[in-house]
Structure 1
Amino acid sequence: MPIFLRDASSSDLPAITAIYRESVLNGVASYEIVPPDESEMAARFSAITGQSYPYIAAIDENGGLLGYAYASAFRTRPAYRWMVEDSIYLGPEARGKGIGRLLLAELIQRCTDLGFRQMVAVIGGAHPASIALHQTLGFAETGRLKATGYKHGRWLDTMIMQRALGYGAATDPDASTYPGTLFKA
């Protein structure tokens, strides 16, 4: 099955909302309990893309959205501006087929090209498949927060993983090349 990656657009929001809804209701990647509606997902999409962060869609040969990934600010304090957090969500039919790996690899490349220096993954439920995916693309465990969420009748841990992008911490960043709008004067 051919998979195509492209920038997500507002026309993808119904499918993005449906994928996220399924994840909220049945998974542990998100600690939300009640799935947000399409208008809330549109506001989140606008907030992320409006700050010049990448938001990527994985599409099948028929144009169907299989999953999506985006980078966003890890924290909003200015010293964090060189670090992004990744998020990846796949529809049930797309899981276990390498689509998450394609999305994450593309997200890493785009964030590197934009000049970001670190990427962090905050993995809800310390989900083994998500941990394995991140490990295959160079992330290392930096911490585990125990019993951080309670969902589906059980306590969930949160895994923190991190990887350097580009030069990482080997050189100082060039403030004139910062791509986002979040911290611009």
Structure 2
Amino acid sequence: MLEEEYDRDRRRLPRHLRKLPAPETEFSYAIRPVEDRDIPDIREIYNYYVTNSVVTFDEKKWTLAQWREKAAYLAKLNLPFLVAQSPSGQILGYALVQPMSSKSAYRYSVENSIYLGHAAAGKGLGRALLEALIDACEAAGIREIVAVISDKGAEASVALHEKLGFVEVGRMGRVGFKFGRWLGTIYMQKHLKPAKKKGLFRR
């Protein structure tokens, strides 16, 4: 039976005889520090944005080796790198911070990144990850967190950062060129509360 024929016959049945639609499974996850086994999923999430969007200015896909090197570098600096994992073990998204600069005077300031897989879009996970990242940064003794956001195609990211207290502090126009068009960046900043215990990341 064709699907449309089934739907037509279903509408003819009395309501009490109709088959109930399958209930939607509850969207749930756990946020935790990254582990090496997460790297393949993280790579796939990020590489989708590399090849299909302008929210990242990267134009070449990242390899597993590059991601493992980055995770090791952030761990050495004691900088937060979090993932959201589904009950089945799938990585739904990730959030991390990295130094704004290699210059030592920037040691209390970081730049954040958050990326979600398609299964997690529009379900509040971005906010949960950013909130967890902010908490982890405060615990690490970080004082300023900056988001550098594309001025095209990243409206949801701008809105999310605004909701969590980030303030736009500047823009740069036409500093990137991807997919045949010029792109600019929006800079948003949030001042973090001093950590109760000293946990400043290592340089």
Is this a same-fold pair by TM over 0.5? yes
Cα shift readout 1:92-116 (whole Å, capped 9, x = no counterpart): 2212211111110000011112211
TM-score, length basis structure 2: 0.82
Between 90-99 and 156-165, report the one with greater CA deviation.
90-99
Q: Following superposition, which runs of at least 4 residues in structure 1 exceed 3 angstroms of deviation?
A: none
Q: Distance in 2 between matches of 1:31 and 1:14?
A: 21
Q: Which residue of 1 aligns with 2:96?
A: 70
| Alignment-mate amino acid for residue 137 of structure 2 | C
Structure whose alpha-carbon radius of gyration is higher: 2
Residue-by-residue CA offset, 1:52-104 (whole Å, 9 max, x unaligned) = 10100011121110000011111121111111111111112212211111110
Whether 1:81 aligns to 2:107 is: yes
Paired position in structure 2 for 1:98: 124
Q: CA deviation at 1:178?
A: 4.8
Which residue of 189, 199, 203 corresponds with 1:162? 189
Q: Which of the numbers 169, 174, 191 marks the counterpart of 1:142?
A: 169
CA distance in 2, matches of 1:114, 1:40: 24
The aligned counterpart of 1:16 is: 42
Aligned residues: 176
CA distance in 2, matches of 1:177, 1:98: 31
Counterpart CA distance in 2 for 1:92 and 1:56 is: 18
In structure 2, C-alpha distance between the alignment counterparts of 1:31 and 1:103, rounded to whole Å? 22
**What letter is aligned with 2:163?**
T
Separation in 2 of the partners of 1:164 and 1:17? 30
Tell me what 1:170 maps to: none
Secondary structure at the counterpart of residue 122 of structure 2 = coil
Q: Shift in Å at residue 40 of structure 1?
A: 1.1
Which stretch shifts more, 119-128 or 46-55?
Answer: 119-128
**Secondary structure at 2:177's aligned position in 1?**
strand
5 Å-filtered alignment, 1:12-51, equals 12-51=38-77
TM superposition score normalised by structure 1? 0.90
2:198 to 148, 155, 177: 177
The sequence identity of aligned pairs, in percent, is 36
- Across the aligned residues of Structure 1 and Structure 2, the Cα RMSD in angstroms comes to 1.7
Give, as a single letter, the amino acid of the residue that structure 2 aligns with 1:40: Q
